[in-house]
Chain A
Amino acid sequence: MQVNLVEMKPGQSGIISAVQGGHGFATKLSHIGLHEGKKIKKISSVFRHGPVMVCVDNFQVAIGYGKAVRIMVEVTNAEKNSSGRQS
């Protein structure tokens, strides 16, 4: 199932499958370590249009809404114990 980071639920992990909208953006993200094929986990998000917090390897990145919707993720598993958490 491919969703963007905003649609992804907190606690879910997946693999980054595509970054939409502009080569510059994809390159920039990739320099931070968010590149296609990278395992990513969503930690939380602030409100409906707020930033999304993700965890990659050992670090956390906050991604604003406008950019989070452009990052597509192939969801691999949903963590069960976090289903009740606030998103």
Chain B
Amino acid sequence: MLRKIVLVGNPNVGKSVVFSHLTGSKVMISNYAGTTVEFTSGELNTEKESFELFDAPGTYSLTPSSKVEEVASSLVDQADLVINVVDATNLERNLFLTMEVLERDVPMIIALNMIDEAGHKGVKIDIEKLESLLGVPVIPTVAVSGEGLKNLIDTLPRAVNKITEPLDTAARWVHLGALVGEVQEIVHRHHSWLETLQDASLRPLTGIPIAAAVLYIAFQLVIGLGELMAGFIEKYFFEGLYEPLLAYLSNLLGGSGFLHAVLIGRLIDGEIVFEESLGVLTTGVFVEFGVVLPFLAIFYLVLGFLEDSGYLPRLAVMVDRGMHRLGLHGYSVIPMVLGFGCNVPAALAVRNLESRREKFIACTLMAVAVPCMAQLAMIIGLVGRYGGAYLAVVFASLFFIWIVLGLIIDRVMPGYTPSMVVEIPPYRIPSLKAQSKKLGMRIKGLIVHATPYILGGILLVNILYTVGFVDYLGYIFTPIITGLLGLPGEAVSTLLIGFLRKDVAVAMLVPLGLSARQFVIGTVVLAAYFPCAATFTVLVKEMGVKDMLKSAAIMIVTAFTAGFVLNLLLDTIIPAAYLAFGLVAMALILALVLGSTSDRRELSDIDRVA
């Protein structure tokens, strides 16, 4: 069996960067605490020996007080050797964990990472002295560029198992204060422009306009560039090249029959229509590569920049006040933002939140009101045809649901959401290489994970139609679907497929020949009613079956209520544009007027404790 090496260290010190360099395997890396929530493992081959390398989630201490810390702590217990990655710009704080590792019975070496950044910040460290005081090898590294990592590997045989006397927390800090005083010298120097921006994005007067601008630009970029790219691909690839090919195939198959239905789908006026035909090769391929992929690529490009620059934690600070009203704190904005890409990683990121209450609220709100990019791309493309006002109604409805549901759950659910304590990383200029690597990983992930679901979903639709199951279901559910939502009974099939892939489900609304208002109702219900299978699996794991059932009940009730209300109001009483505006305004007013209950509950709880 291979010997185990574990990378441990504080959050956001670059463990994953070291890991991906040493193993050559690809892992997600960003500039904020909590990117890695589970451990990853890979093989590390040196000239003499092969090891199994583990990338532990970042932790400040080995005293397990959260799930993430438990993972790190148990990894250290199983390790044959520990590489402690230390942020050279924050020596004292990082060495606290180092001391805890030293107290355990395991050989270790230290990677003194970001030594270049420490230099820029005027922090000088006497590495030899640090080595002799700690009693373990200390190797300076710059993981992003790979500097020092060869040296780190060569030092592995010199790892020392130096069991020190356990100290209590206070004594450790006293000891560290003295130690760091001996090895570190700080030279004062002027603020860089990044640091000036850093301060500006944290002050409300400048920070809120910055946050608004960042979100607006990100939104515009995704929509604008996404549409541009999708249009380009549709025109030159799908219409120019692919359609003639499929038309030929359609002829070959005789224009009808089961195989034709599955592969090509229905012909509309004798022609293939990519959005409507519902064949594996027509709609299936088109949805994935013609619509979802371009939007998702642009989204992840923008997200990658936000993640690596270190802006997201600052956004968390700016929205903290508002999020408290929904029973969450600012840091839960990160899963929400991730959710717009795909709900699966977002559900995993919820693990960074402390309490069961927060996790429940964050998961539920995310699953109900944050549509993933695949679904959004379809919504933008298909609802957009009816005009911007209808698109606005979809977004406004989801925003309204997000706010009002949060306000309600926060009031109904016992307990309170404690306020956050988060480290704010310095701004860093994202490297082009890291960005393209990350984008490549995410796009590959989409293609690998989504393709079977998209194609399988369409296959299933065709089978269900062919055997008459859709008609049967439509007949049974007509009272609900038609009576409540004003949609044709067949629309129930989209809810069925939505569990597999929401993007395909939205596409399935097209052949139903819906009016604008019906299409809006259909998409909102589809977005909110239930997460897709992939998300559902992760949510069950993160929340437990009991909470997931409660959450699912909330989702279903919310979706149908929203659909019913839209059916009552949209275009019958209130025109689309006014309704969109009204929903957003009402949500904001409700949030402002109702305020937050958490502060009061948290403060009274403290009084009780104190």
A residues near B (Cβ < 8 Å) are 20-22, 24, 27-33, 35-38, 43-44, 46-47, 49-51, 53, 56-70, 85-86
Query: Within the assembled complex, what's the spacing in Å between the Cα atoms of A68 and B422?
Result: 12
User: Do B96 and A24 touch (CB < 8 A)?
Assistant: no
User: Do A57 and B93 touch (CB < 8 A)?
Assistant: yes
| A-binding segment of B338-346, B457-465, B599-607 | B599-607
Contact of A66 among B173, B317, B603 (CB under 8 A): B603
Q: Could you list 13 A-B pairs, sorted by A, with CB under 8 Å?
A: A21-B607, A21-B610, A35-B170, A36-B170, A46-B320, A51-B419, A53-B424, A61-B422, A63-B421, A64-B329, A66-B419, A86-B203, A86-B205
The answer to whether A46 and B207 touch (CB under 8 A), given A28-B65, A57-B92, A64-B420, is: yes
Interface of B is mostly: helix
Query: Within the assembled complex, what's the spacing in Å between the Cα atoms of A57 and B169?
Result: 18
Residues from chain A with a CB closer than 8 A to the CB of B329 are 64
Query: Within the assembled complex, what's the spacing in Å between the Cα atoms of A77 and B40?
Result: 46
Q: Does residue B571 face the partner (Cβ distance < 8 Å to A)?
A: no
The answer to whether A86 and B90 touch (CB under 8 A), given A53-B317, A63-B421, A66-B599, is: no
User: Do A60 and B423 touch (CB < 8 A)?
Assistant: yes
Q: Which residues B565-610 have CB closer than 8 A to chain A? A: 596, 598-599, 602-603, 606-607, 609-610
Contact of B96 among A31, A65, A66, A67 (CB under 8 A): A31
Contact of A58 among B96, B121, B610 (CB under 8 A): B121
The answer to whether A46 and B96 touch (CB under 8 A), given A20-B610, A53-B424, A85-B203, is: no
B residues near A (Cβ < 8 Å) are 60-61, 63, 65, 89-90, 92-93, 96, 121, 123, 169-170, 173, 198-199, 202-205, 207, 313, 316-318, 320-321, 324, 329-330, 418-424, 596, 598-599, 602-603, 606-607, 609-610
Contact of B202 among A22, A33, A53 (CB under 8 A): A53
- Listed residue (B198, B202, B313, B418) with the most chain A CB atoms within 10 angstroms of its CB: B202
Minimum CB–CB distance for B534 against chain A, Å: 32
Query: Within the assembled complex, what's the spacing in Å between the Cα atoms of A21 and B609?
Result: 5
Minimum CB–CB distance for B87 against chain A, Å: 8
Residue of A nearest to B186 (CB): A58
User: Do A30 and B173 touch (CB < 8 A)?
Assistant: yes
User: Do A46 and B204 touch (CB < 8 A)?
Assistant: yes
User: Do B603 and A69 touch (CB < 8 A)?
Assistant: yes
Residues from chain A with a CB closer than 8 A to the CB of B65 are 24, 27-28
User: Do B418 and A47 touch (CB < 8 A)?
Assistant: no
Among all A-B residue pairs, the 8 with the closest Cβ atoms: A64-B419, A33-B93, A66-B602, A21-B606, A66-B419, A31-B61, A31-B60, A60-B424
Query: Within the assembled complex, what's the spacing in Å between the Cα atoms of A69 and B599?
Result: 11
Query: Within the assembled complex, what's the spacing in Å between the Cα atoms of A53 and B318?
Result: 11
- Listed residue (B92, B421, B424) with the most chain A CB atoms within 10 angstroms of its CB: B421
User: Do A65 and B123 touch (CB < 8 A)?
Assistant: no
Query: Within the assembled complex, what's the spacing in Å between the Cα atoms of A64 and B202?
Result: 13
Query: Within the assembled complex, what's the spacing in Å between the Cα atoms of A51 and B609?
Result: 22
- Listed residue (A24, A53, A58) with the most chain B CB atoms within 10 angstroms of its CB: A58
User: Do B330 and A57 touch (CB < 8 A)?
Assistant: no
Residues from chain B with a CB closer than 8 A to the CB of A62 are 202, 313, 316-317, 320, 330, 420-424
User: Do A47 and B63 touch (CB < 8 A)?
Assistant: no
Residue of A nearest to B122 (CB): A58
User: Do B96 and A33 touch (CB < 8 A)?
Assistant: yes
Contact of B421 among A21, A22, A58, A61 (CB under 8 A): A61
Query: Within the assembled complex, what's the spacing in Å between the Cα atoms of A29 and B170?
Result: 12
Residues from chain B with a CB closer than 8 A to the CB of A35 are 169-170, 173
Residue of A nearest to B420 (CB): A64
Minimum CB–CB distance for A24 against chain B, Å: 7
Minimum CB–CB distance for A60 against chain B, Å: 4
Residues from chain A with a CB closer than 8 A to the CB of B169 are 27, 30-31, 35
User: Do A44 and B199 touch (CB < 8 A)?
Assistant: yes
Query: Within the assembled complex, what's the spacing in Å between the Cα atoms of A49 and B321?
Result: 7
The answer to whether A49 and B93 touch (CB under 8 A), given A37-B173, A62-B316, A64-B330, is: no
User: Do B63 and A31 touch (CB < 8 A)?
Assistant: yes
Contact of B423 among A37, A47, A61 (CB under 8 A): A61
Query: Within the assembled complex, what's the spacing in Å between the Cα atoms of A38 and B174?
Result: 10
Contact of A44 among B63, B202, B418 (CB under 8 A): B202
Residue of B nearest to A22 (CB): B609
